[in-house]
Amino acid sequence: MQPNWIAQRAYLTPNRTGLSFGQQSWTFKQLHEEALLIAKKLATFANTGERIAILAPSNPELIKVIYGCMHMQFEIVFLNGRLSSRELAYQIDDAEVKVVLAATSELEKLPKDINVVTFEQLAAIEGTEIAIAKEWDETQTISIMYTSGTTGFPKGVRQTVGNHSSSAISSALNLGITDSDVWLCTVPLFHISGFSILVRSLLYGMTVRLYEKFDTALCTQEIIAGKVTKMSVVAVTLERILSEMERLQVKAHPHFTTMLAGGGPVPIDYLQRAAKLHLPVAQTYGMTETSSQTATLAHEDALKKLGSAGKPLFFNQIKIAGAVEPLTEGEICIRGPHVTPGYIGRFKERAATEDGWLLTGDIGYFDEDGYLFVVDRRADLIISGGENIYPAEIENVLLAHPNVLEAGVCGIPDEDWGQVPIAFVVLKQPIAELQLQQYCKARLASYKMPKRIYIVQSLPRNGSNKLLRRKLVELI
């Protein structure tokens, strides 16, 4: 068992700032009290332990609703506001949620035939008296996040109390914590990278400095002024901060200790530029199934071990399948208390692990010093601005068009986003690329949209007629 994180933090450090946003701030006691009020309202239409979904921008109101849901011990399905209505409908249906809690600004993205309670409607409910659990079972599911699958159907990943707390504690042992830490959060709270910051805040007693969206100029000022100590980024946001600091000819404040960079490899050039600006970058490797980080490269090793994702965090284990010596490539396998117990919905019968090991599908190796190098984040995965894009999802949309016979998708390098998807189609009947783009736009999130759709005579396949995505780019 573990203590109710929100109540325990409010008891231990009631007057410490837990959240700041713009010119506003809230202590942990205030966050706890507001979350209790929300929990009382939630109790009028949902029972403890039920599954609900949330769709809202990353602002203080969302955090308070999340904490209210945690008090109710709901299984919270985090919905990505960047998805299309069709994609959201799939996740809502697959998760079998009791209700969707949504900000009014997001209503138009939701399907029409679902049970929705807006944040405004929630605020108007009188509420009822309830007893909040003082302890949580470690196996209790707190969050469910959908991650794209190689089948083209996203999987709902369970993340438990034990998963999240293990991840947070391992991160603390690796990065260190102080009572003056402030984590600059500009990543979406519906992502594991964002929600894990909230978990760390509650467990560490750490302030979250929240931004609804990433702002290069403002975030850079926070770093150089010493107002924040840590920040989570992907390569594209890191580069924008680097460019702004170089433009201003400034260095990071000594109080700033960690730029945690995930979502794909960080270019060597970025690391070298960061070192000159005294900006400590810690590269990390993890996924939704591991509740954030599973390996992290300490910033002092960033240039010595260029390209490495570091070593496993304290409670975690990583092995390379089939490898008996260093530098041998194979599938990265992960074991530890941070690994998901399983999936929900259409994938609920699929085991998350084999003999206790999560098979990531990623290819990597360890060097002679035990540092992990990720060779390929899954053979066909496209990482665009930190977002994972699986070609099968886009291919499935294209193949649903009556004029399309075959479809193949791969990624190409992009200066701004790292990679962007492009598509190749064999047609049954003539249709213009623009029409196919419009068809995809109605069915895919904007970041999954193919930058180009090439019409070709055939797609590269092997002897068993399997599509060879790695050869698609040769068709250009």
- Nearest CA to 142 out of 99, 192, 98, 96 is that of 192
The pLDDT assigned to 82 comes to: 83
Task: Provide CB contacts within 8 A for 300, sequence distance 6+.
Answer: none
Measured CA to CA, the distance from residue 102 to residue 65 in angstroms comes to 10
Same domain, 276 and 417: no
Handedness of CA 147, 148, 150, 155 (dihedral sign): positive
Residues 57 and 182 occupy one common structural domain: no
pLDDT for res 256: 96
The predicted pLDDT at position 112 comes to 86
What is the pLDDT at residue 464? 42
How far, in Å, are 73, 135, 352 from residue 6 at the CA level?
Answer: 12, 11, 29
Q: Could you tell me the CA-to-CA distances from 324 to 84, 223, 382 in Å, in that order?
A: 45, 43, 29
pLDDT attached to residue 392: 76
Looking at the structure, tell me whether residues 367 and 247 fall in a common domain: yes
| Confidence (pLDDT) at 265 | 66
153 part of a folded domain: no
Q: Are residues 317 and 291 in the same domain?
A: yes
Same domain, 401 and 323: no
Q: Do 345 and 257 share a structural domain?
A: yes
Q: Which residues of 418-450 are buried (b: 16+ CB within 10 A; e: fewer)?
A: bbbbbbbbeeeeebeeeebeebbeebbbebbbb
Residues of the chain with pLDDT under 50: 463-464
Do residues 283 and 297 touch, judged by C-beta distance below 8 A? yes
Residues 341 and 395 in one domain: no
- pLDDT for res 378: 66
235 falls within a domain: yes
Domain count, the chain: 3
Answer yes or no: do 339 and 259 share one domain: yes
CATH number where 322 lies: 3.40.50.12780
CATH number of the CATH domain containing 460: 3.30.300.30
One domain for residues 10 and 121 = yes
Instruction: Report d(CA 371, CA 374) in Å as an integer.
Output: 10
158: in domain: no
Residue 152 lies in a domain: no
Q: Letter for the amino acid at 17?
A: T
Q: Could you report the per-residue pLDDT of 406-461, keeping only the tens digit for each?
A: 889 999 998 889 899 999 999 989 999 999 999 999 999 989 999 999 999 988 87
385-404 confidence digits (pLDDT tens): 888 887 878 887 888 888 98
* Parent domain of 331: 172-376
